[in-house]
Structure 1
Amino acid sequence: MSPQPSPSPRPRRIDIHTHFLPQGAVAAQQTGAEWFGTRLEIVDGRPSAITLGRRFPLGSLSHFQQSMESRLEVMSNRNVDIQVLSLLPPLYRYDLAPSLGVAAAEHVNDEIAAITRRWPTRFRGLATLPLQDPAAAVRELERAVSILGLDGAAVGTNVRGANWDHPTLFPVLEAAARLRALLFVHPESVRPREPLAHFYLGNLIGNPFETTVAVASIIFSGVLDRLPDLRLCFAHGGGYACFGIGRMDHGYSVRDEPRVGGARLIPTDYLRTMYFDSLTHSHQALRYIVEAVGAEHVVMGSDYPADMGSVDPVAFVETCAGLSQNDREAILGGNLERLLRIPPAVLLE
């Protein structure tokens, strides 16, 4: 009897959208101290980050404070092979003095790198950058990628109110393209605040709005014509960008204003070069994004361990009707294996 062929190895299940708290921040919370200008507090049994007098709810502090061993257990229970770690966004702190921002970024990135070295088959890392000083941010991105071995950086949808078409931020994008570093774009500071002050609208509507503005700013600025190798991934399914791309295309075709940035193509053509995570909380929305940009540009994201995240991101993708098995495998990990240049997997049981 001839031997049976071995089953083909499946792509690893890779989660692009996971956050962590540095140990320094956890230790500071336990003593009531600040960590680089941020104080963690527990109010009515729920944790918050206090930054510049503003309170950011954090979901479950026990999840953020958990050991990496406990985190690995949760990953295994949810069939997640690899988490890509990035800093909790309220701690990006682009408002800090540049020297303090650099120190905070170095602290965070060194810790992420240490985790990826200890568990190289389970964790990858995205740096945080002191974007209040773009030149320093370029240097830290170079250090993070070339020396620490991180895959890129997680960045806010705006930097102290400046969108990503702002000329001062172009050197950061240029460095990311040169280094082939992935930029994961995540809301950090939502604008405007007042209309979104109630009902948690700052998150429910504000976060997707911020991400949409980031996508559109990059598209219409002509950045992707100047930097065709730039690799961008947007959190929360890219906000409303994929759902509003038809209006952007129409505006580009009939108005002068969308053309002043130098974009040479219709917005859809740029959108299809970007990547979007699967965190939509809706199978219908996920299917629409796949139809808009192709399954090869959608990656799994959970927002772990936030309460607004997906409890079971693998099952969410696997149970999405209308996707082919090839689509599912690409979203669950195949795309990120390619995008992050992860070596081929040993057969996973």
Structure 2
Amino acid sequence: MSRTEVLDTHAHIVPRSLLIALEKTASAGFSARRTDSGWVVAVPGAGDTRPIGARMTEAGPRAAWLSDTGVTRQILSPWLDVLATPAAGRDWARTVNDAMAESAAEQGTVALASVDTDDGDRAADDLLEAWKRPEFAGLLLNTDPPSGPALHEPAFDPLWTVAASEGIPVVLHPPTCGPSGDLTSLGTMGNVHGRLIDNTVAVTKLILAGVLDRHPGLPLVLVHGGGFLPYQAHRLDGGYRTKEAFAVTLDRERPSAYLGDFRYDTVGLSGPSIAFLAGLVGADRVLLGSDFPFALGDPQPVRTVRDSGLDDVAVEKVLHGNADTLFRRPA
């Protein structure tokens, strides 16, 4: 076992306090009710969420999972299904942030904040507002915002400027219903491959649009092992060379030269994928993740890291050191 704590950087929560409050009084058009299958949130413009089980909301099942896996602490992320709607707005993001901060304090950890992305300047202001709160150690950002500019568009640059200048980690996470939903041939594999497609396309656009050139040092974390991008980056280089995948002339010669700028979680779900990432970008860019509490996540993420064949120093970085450095708040 690790000599220090083990940090899970990809773990979702819907705070119970938020659900109880929404059950009593609707907020920004959101309401909640209890069903036999768990809590359900009515989302304005999107309908009901899937049932929210106890592992997402209750401290007991979460603590039992932590004990079983050897994870000692989680960086808490909100669930995009209760965020990703054009009708949400700033007030709703702040309501969720308040509940997330409360849960983080109760569990002795930190959380990722949310911001309304309808306007880039306003999103930057809201990120700074959230960053002042000690309970937040980063931002969770939808790779396909439901309204406002796309992440790679210049109108979104104010938020990237703040994140880069303040050193605020930004975790890029695809929504449940993203652009890949238009691929009817995916059928029931939307959660298997669709989320990876959405991640890959969004991050590719960030690179090709020159976002990383304009904002050097921007601390971006890619979930699900970076989707397909790390494993097909040289095909992207070919597309850039032939102008099939081109937006602006990059400061570096090829898109794959930017892969080392990102951090990647271990939710590729296998030891070999973790070893590949560590070999590609360095073990210091890889972070333990589980995608808790979802069934498609890693039920034993620590074991998966240890099965990667990395040496003890690299394993320690992945299990603890990298996340501790990235998400540590300045004193």
Q: Which residue of 2 aligns with 1:264?
A: 251
The 5-angstrom pairing of residues 8-157 of structure 1 reads 10-27=3-20, 36-38=28-30, 45=37, 51=43, 52-53=45-46, 56-57=49-50, 61-67=53-59, 70-96=61-87, 101-120=89-108, 123-157=109-143
In 1, are the aligned partners of 2:217 and 2:261 still within 8 Å (CA)? no
| In structure 2, C-alpha distance between the alignment counterparts of 1:44 and 1:113, rounded to whole Å | 28
Query: Does the C-alpha gap of structure 1 residues 12 and 72 become closer, same or farther in structure 2, counting only changes over 3 Å?
Result: same
RMSD, aligned CA: 2.7
Contact 1:190–1:202 (Cα < 8 Å) also in 2: no
The answer (yes or no) to whether the contact 2:37–2:53 under 8 Å persists in 1 is no
Counterparts of 1:215-230 in structure 2, within 5 Å, are 215-230=203-218
Q: 1:47 to 1:204 in 2, by over 3 A?
A: farther
1:197 CA drift (Å) = 7.7
Shift, 1:178, TM fit: 1.4
The separation in 2 between residues aligned to 1:147 and 1:41, in whole angstroms, is 30
> Paired residue for 2:282?
294
Distance 2:267 2:55 in 1: 19
1:330 matched to 2:322: no
Find the aligned partners of 1:116 and 1:45 in 2 and give their Cα distance.
Answer: 25
Structure 1 residues 192, 309: closer, same or farther in 2, change over 3 A? Answer: closer
Q: Which moved more, 1:327-336 or 1:194-203?
A: 194-203
Aligned partner letter, 1:65? T
Deviation per CA, 1:294-346: give whole Å up to 9, x if none. Answer: 211110011111222211211111122x3222221111111111112369xxx
Counterpart Cα distance in 2 of 1:215 and 1:49 = 30
1:65 to 1:119, Cα distance in 2 relative to 1, 3 A? closer
Q: Distance in 2 between matches of 1:64 and 1:140?
A: 26
CA distance in 2, matches of 1:90, 1:199: 20
In structure 2, C-alpha distance between the alignment counterparts of 1:117 and 1:147, rounded to whole Å: 11
> Quick one: which of 338, 341, 348 aligns to 2:328?
341
Aligned AA (2:113): A
Q: Would the alpha carbon gap of residues 47 and 243 (structure 1) be closer, same or farther in structure 2, given more than 3 Å must change? A: farther
Pick one of 262, 265, 268 that aligns with 1:280: 268
Separation in structure 2 between the aligned mates of residue 175 and residue 147 of structure 1, nearest angstrom: 15
43-52 vs 333-342, greater mean Cα deviation: 43-52
Partner of 1:347: none
Distance 2:72 2:329 in 1: 12
Count of aligned pairs:
325
Task: State whether residues 40 and 50 of structure 2, in contact with CA within 8 Å, keep that contact through their aligned partners in structure 1.
Answer: yes
Contact map agreement 1:17 1:277 (CA 8 A) in 2: yes
Q: Deviation at 1:155? A: 0.5
Q: In the alignment, is the contact (CA less than 8 A) between 1:249 and 1:268 conserved in 2?
A: yes
Code of the residue aligned with 2:65 in structure 1: it is V
Q: CA deviation at 1:89?
A: 1.1
Matched residues in 2 for 1:196 and 1:177: separation? 38
Structure with max Cα Rg = 1
- Preserved CA contact (<8 Å) 2:140 2:170: yes
Q: In the alignment, which residue of structure 2 is the partner of 1:4?
A: none
* CA contact 2:7–2:72 (8 Å) conserved in 1: yes
Percent of residue pairs bearing the same amino acid type:
26
CA distance in 1, matches of 2:30, 2:297: 23
Q: TM-score, normalised by structure 1?
A: 0.83
Amino acid corresponding to residue 136 of structure 2 in structure 1: L
* Higher RCO structure, 1 or 2 (CA under 8 Å, sep 6+): 1
Unaligned runs of 5+ in 1: 1-8, 344-349
Distance 2:205 2:276 in 1: 22
- CA distance in 1: counterparts of 2:26 and 2:53, whole angstroms: 16
